[in-house]
Amino acid sequence: MEKKYRLRVDEKIVGFKRQVSERMVFYSKNEFWWNGQPIGHKQIDEYTGINDKNNTRIYEWDIVQFELTKEEGREEGVVLWNTKDKCFGIKRINDSGFIPFEVNNIRLFQSKDLEVYSYLFINPEVMTRLGLEDV
C-alpha cells in the first residue's frame, strides 16, 4: 500500500515523499513533479489518507477545525498518531480528548467536516500546552 509523507526541516516544509513499495520511493518539492532524488529533511509527517473540505491532504501535526456534531459546533484540534490504538485522530486543543478518525472501520468525519488551517510545528505555544514534542 502506498504511503505519503510531508518532509520538513523544523518549521519549513521542504518536500514530499511517496513510498509505493520498499524499493520504490519518489520525492517531490511540490507534489506535482516526482522523481527518485531524495530531499534532505529532519522531520517526516505521515499522510492520514483523508482530505479536508478543500481537498487538502491532512497530515499528522496539522491543526484542523472540525465538527463532530452540529450541537457541539466547530472545534479546533491537532491531528496525531495514537500509538496505543494505532490510529490517526484529532486531539482537541481545548481539552484532553482524542477522537479517532475511524472506529470499527466506520469514519467519524467526512471531508466537509474538516479544514486544515495551520500546523502544530509553527505554533510552539500550542505544542507546549498539549505537552507534545516534535520529533
pLDDT in tens, 46-104: 999 999 999 999 999 999 999 877 777 789 999 999 998 899 999 999 877 899 999 99
pLDDT at residue 131, rounded to an integer:
82
Half-sphere exposure for 133 (CA within 13 Å, toward CB): 1
Sequence-separated (6 or more) residues with CB below 8 Å from residue 104: none
pLDDT at residue 85, rounded to an integer:
85
Burial 63-95 (b: 16+ CB within 10 A, else e): bbbbbbeeeeeebebbbbeeeeeeebbbbbbee
Domain boundaries, given as residue ranges, for the chain:
3-130
pLDDT at residue 120, rounded to an integer:
93
Rounded to the nearest integer, the mean pLDDT of the chain is: 92
CATH match of 3-130 with 2.30.30.290: yes
Rounded distance between C-alpha atoms, residue 18 and residue 126, angstroms: 29
Rounded distance between C-alpha atoms, residue 127 and residue 54, angstroms: 25
